Structure 1
Amino acid sequence: MDAKPWLPFYPPEVAPSYEYPKHNLGLFLVTSAQKYPNRPAVYFMGKTLTYKQLLEASYRMANALRGKGINKGDRVAIMLPNCPQVVISYFGALLSGAVVVMTNPLYMEREIAHQMQDSGAKAIITLDHFVARVEKVQGETELKHIIVTSIADYLPFPKNLLFPIKAKKQGPLPVIHYREGVYPFKKLLEQALDAPVCESVHAEKDLALLQYTGGTTGVPKGVMLTHYNLIANTLQSSMWCYKVEEGKERYLAALPCFHVFGLTVLLNQAVYRASELLMVPRFEPKMILDLIRKKKATLFPGAPTMYIALINHPQIKDYDLSSINACISGSAGLPVEVQDTFEELTKGRLIEGYGLTEAAPVTHANPIWGHRKIGTIGIPLPDTEAKVVNPDTGDEVPVGEPGELIVKGPQVMKGYWKRPEDTFDTLRGGWLFTGDMATMDEEGYFRIIDRKKDMIIASGYNIYPREIEEVLYEHPSVKEAVVVGTKDEYRGETVKAYIVLKDGAAPDPAGLEKFCRKQLAAYKVPREFVFRDSLPKTLVGKVLRRKLLEEEEEGKPTA
């Protein structure tokens, strides 16, 4: 069998192999700012930063971090929604030689505590609205510095003055007590030098990013991604989108940059191509449609739920979306009808791809302007090898047969942070065992047939049942709990909890939901609670999730 049957389907413009530079990832920004100093780099709610301004602010952040004792290899957490500050913080940390720890702003105290404890982060850059959560767990961590910003910090006049008034209507504004160890973002930058700084790194060994994922076990692990991993994947995905013109594109940044998909295909790729990032702090269909109309976005990577929301918007016919040339959909399967409808509306191309955090993340994609196959994740990117193997023996299976997808390439992680056993299980002989079941056809196009055991993907977020179950088990009325993902037309999947109550306890779904909301990000909270007398189990007492899902699909009574 041809080792790479997909190569004949590469567009002529895409080479099967490239040379990837070995330098600090932050040099992407330095290079683009030197070439296009006055080109818009970031647009945010009416405010524009040029590449020159973005680089100067990033230099100031790098110098500020160094002034606080952050040295090469120290971890700096960034807990921000999409806004100019996330770009400044990210490149500032990279240029200083620090390792970035991207943290989901939706995380509650216990989730923040785990990530800070495990990573050993010394500093965190976050929004004023999240500071209370961080301060509650700071004593359990190595955090020495909290750098605080507000959405209003980078809004244009008069929005910057009106923002606090508008925010006040949604609840009391946070009161930040600035002191040693707690600093205002803008003031910190104003007081820092703007002298150029770019720490030299060993690109293939030195980490640029610790990105947390539950992987296949459900225990959150830090994926170690080097400067080289991220540079390679940025170039691989950029070359795939070969019609992109340097210094001319406008990327719609609706995917969160704290997610590795958004980080690579938006933040890194846009800056590498000297493009303009159109940033939105959260996905709201009308806001997105207005932004496309106003700023003529040309590239729009996203998750299926985003495209579903847009095509179903009641005013969709009133908007001209023809500026959009290409969209890569990831995080979950892309329904065919969504793809067809969105392409009809935009006259651009919407293709499905595949990746995982451990691969920085993109490994496969359908050719954007070439031979694509609906329902597949496409073919491996340049310099990426992929095979389908028997999950027990590791032997390659015949074409068309199901097995575990394994991948190899320059984007594959160094390993899991402080978890050598997990690294050994997942990386074998340079191959990354994805845990996803797939098939490959005779032309080298891959299809995912089942995803990682137990993992739920709702609106593009990876949700690990074990974490939710642990919270449920803390409730005084819960005897047993198991969490599964069930099909949902909008979110892809939604979270459902099966509960066995302790003797004498009464079903209280509202109480359980409230209990979960205090400890879990909103997207992890079960949307439905089913109370049962018992749960199906194996002889050794392991709950059979698959059995629950089968009952769900067959519509059997669940009591």
Structure 2
Amino acid sequence: MEPRDATSSTDTASTAAAARPARTAHRDTFARDHLPPPGQWPELRFDLPELSYPERLNAAAELLAGTAAERPAFRTADGEVWTYGQLRARVDRIAHTLTTRLGVVPGNRVLLRGPTTPWLAACWLAVLKAGAVAVTVLAQQRPHELHTICGIARVGHALCDVRVVDDLVKADVPGLHITTYGGDSPDDLLHLPASEEPFPPGDTAADDVALIAFTSGTTGRPKGCMHFHRDVLAIADTFSRHILQPRPDDVFAGSPPLGFTFGLGGLVVFPLRAGASALLLEQAGPGQLLPAIAEHRVSVLFTAPTAYRAMLGELDGHDITSLRRCVSAGENLPATTWQAWYERTGLRVINGIGATELLHIFISAADDRIRPGTTGVPVPGWHARVQDANGRPVPDGEPGLLAVRGPVGCRYLADPRQQEYVRDGWNITGDTYVRDPDGYFRYVARADDMIISAGYNIAGPEVEEALLRHPDVVETAVVGQPDEARGQIVVAYAVLRAGAAPDPDALRAFLTSELAPYKCPREFVFLDALPRTATGKLQRFRLRTHLTPAAGTAAETRPDANSAAAEGDHG
């Protein structure tokens, strides 16, 4: 099943090759059989020479090839170092076990679950090398979430860190064969007898499905996003190659787990593609990142704006001089956070927008091209525009829906929402953006985060950025609450610095000096923490369902944010 060929006469020869049907290596063809109909695919573009991939391609074999065996590949917090030679040997051994002991055949879906460790990364590489399909989930996900994902993807096998296997067992997935790793049992993945010979990589097609990444579920039932072997390399050959510009001596680290495509790219795909190494941290909050950067001389950091804000207050006493690249994604990076980080560290944060549907970042900028307050420009190999609800481009300076296309596109697993995300060959990300006349893209809001009050369009993130300029506000989220008179009113949730008194009137007075009066929240709710997914993404829908009728005092306006966060879908 192939998409429409949307290339121009200037595209490389790889475009035509990529658009031709290829012989699948999958014996279990479930994933290919459940791709969207060809007419619902986005148009794909392969405009760069480095995107000329051969018809037969195994992404894991490509990532593992070409780097000297003695060079470091993965590092751990306790100082363990895996060389490329050791990584290749361990991946091959797991692949042998999968195919000869566990009965995994090309195309089978294999669930991967565990904290961020070299063994989890090795399992992911082994699944791809064996020609199977990796379904990486989060160690924090609960049984009902796991049951749903396994049902959607028809998962038959799972490789799970022994420390987090209980919830997977409780998920009660019919026919699921669970193999643990990291334990003492003789049937543990790492203790099963297996060949020590090199494993011949599966003869996969470039357009065979390599992984299924599930959306975070912050808006409802999670969607399975199917990505090909060539897609895995394409995100490295666009964003990483052209924006990050990694070096073989770089040490990558970050907070996103491997079940989140932001983490999978930043901590596995990008460093391996560059012959560099990655520090894989099981605990990677701001409190762990700063000492890890100093101890392991991390040079490339991936985390969210929330973590950069949190680390600002903890920089004293930590040596971060090894850092040369800081990447932010997952949510909008406020200009205030960018500027504060730059002033304290001299480092320009590389902002970016990505999507599970598109695997990684597609709009960004680095170095002197960065403009604080904007996301950037389309990454080489990608195209973007801003359009109205009818698919017509809007003039520069006017808000509209962000539409994107490039070498990777949305292909949901048997999900009718495919037709909502892909329209007229473009991927519609669900974000409201403005394109400035000089070509820079500026984030306005999620399309469903736009608040319409008394006829005024109010972007929640704009109000949030203004609130963050108040010295007492540590975090904030602004949403709309239904109101009979105005349609919606603006409600601000705020987390204050320790010791600060909740004072709605003071915040309102501050905002009236920062924003037009109609944008100022009519209600304030003070929380100990904002509800977030395990990957740090704000769960605005939970705030909308936990709104309180008034915000006079802190005692009256503190719903249980911790319970809201604990019950959220993760991704």
The equivalent residue for 1:41 is 73
1:499-556 Cα deviation digits (max 9, x unpaired): 89xxxxxxxx9998898788656x79xxxxxxxxxxxxxxxxxxxxxxxxxxxxxxxx
The equivalent residue for 2:445 is 450
Out of 188, 195, 198, the residue aligned to residue 198 of structure 2 is 195
Q: 1:106 aligned to 2:106?
A: no
1:131-169 Cα deviation digits (max 9, x unpaired): 11111223x33312332335xxxxxxxxxxxxxxxxxxx
The equivalent residue for 1:208 is 210
Out of 62, 77, 95, the residue aligned to residue 28 of structure 1 is 62
For the residue of structure 2 that corresponds to 1:69, the secondary structure is coil
Structure 2 contact 431–443 (Cα < 8 Å) conserved: yes
Task: Note the 1:171-250 alignment, pairs <5 A.
Answer: 183-188=187-192, 191-204=194-207, 206-213=208-215, 218-241=220-243, 243-245=245-247, 247-250=248-251
Pair 387,39 (structure 1): closer, same or farther in 2 beyond 3 Å: same
Q: 1:89 aligned to 2:123?
A: yes
Query: 1:430 and 1:448 mapped to 2: Cα distance?
Result: 22
Structure 1 contact 234–265 (Cα < 8 Å) conserved: no
Code of the residue aligned with 2:275 in structure 1: it is: A
Query: 2:111 and 2:72 mapped to 1: Cα distance?
Result: 26
Structure 2 contact 238–379 (Cα < 8 Å) conserved: yes
Structure 2 contact 243–379 (Cα < 8 Å) conserved: no
Code of the residue aligned with 1:435 in structure 2: it is: G
Code of the residue aligned with 2:143 in structure 1: it is: E
The equivalent residue for 2:347 is 348
Structure 1 contact 236–381 (Cα < 8 Å) conserved: yes
The equivalent residue for 1:373 is 371
Q: What TM-score results when the alignment is normalised by the length of structure 2?
A: 0.70
Structure 2 contact 381–407 (Cα < 8 Å) conserved: yes
Structure 1 contact 389–406 (Cα < 8 Å) conserved: yes
1:254-290 Cα deviation digits (max 9, x unpaired): 3211110111122100010111111111223343222
Query: 1:300 and 1:451 mapped to 2: Cα distance?
Result: 25
Task: Note the 1:71-470 alignment, pairs <5 A.
Answer: 71-138=105-172, 140-149=173-182, 183-188=187-192, 191-204=194-207, 206-213=208-215, 218-241=220-243, 243-245=245-247, 247-313=248-314, 316-366=315-365, 368-391=366-389, 393-413=390-410, 415-419=411-415, 421-453=416-448
Pair 344,216 (structure 1): closer, same or farther in 2 beyond 3 Å: closer
Code of the residue aligned with 1:352 in structure 2: it is: N
For the residue of structure 2 that corresponds to 1:317, the secondary structure is coil
1:361-399 Cα deviation digits (max 9, x unpaired): 211002x122222111100011211111111x1111111
5+ residue gaps, structure 1? 1-14, 151-175, 466-483, 501-508, 525-559
- Once the two structures are TM-superposed, the CA of residue 352 in structure 1 deviates from its matched residue by 0.9
For the residue of structure 1 that corresponds to 2:181, the secondary structure is strand
For the residue of structure 1 that corresponds to 2:171, the secondary structure is helix
Query: 1:229 and 1:135 mapped to 2: Cα distance?
Result: 32
The equivalent residue for 1:153 is none
Query: 2:266 and 2:559 mapped to 1: Cα distance?
Result: 40
Query: 1:142 and 1:488 mapped to 2: Cα distance?
Result: 45
- Once the two structures are TM-superposed, the CA of residue 215 in structure 1 deviates from its matched residue by 7.2
Query: 1:52 and 1:354 mapped to 2: Cα distance?
Result: 34
Query: 1:98 and 1:323 mapped to 2: Cα distance?
Result: 38
Query: 2:353 and 2:565 mapped to 1: Cα distance?
Result: 31
Q: What TM-score results when the alignment is normalised by the length of structure 1?
A: 0.72
Q: What is the aligned-residue identity percentage?
A: 25
- Once the two structures are TM-superposed, the CA of residue 194 in structure 1 deviates from its matched residue by 3.7
Code of the residue aligned with 1:407 in structure 2: it is: V
The equivalent residue for 1:19 is 50
Structure 1 contact 117–142 (Cα < 8 Å) conserved: no
Q: 1:70 aligned to 2:104?
A: yes
Q: How many corresponding residue pairs? A: 440
1:2-29 Cα deviation digits (max 9, x unpaired): xxxxxxxxxxxxx973332342110233
Code of the residue aligned with 1:417 in structure 2: it is: L
Structure 2 contact 433–443 (Cα < 8 Å) conserved: yes
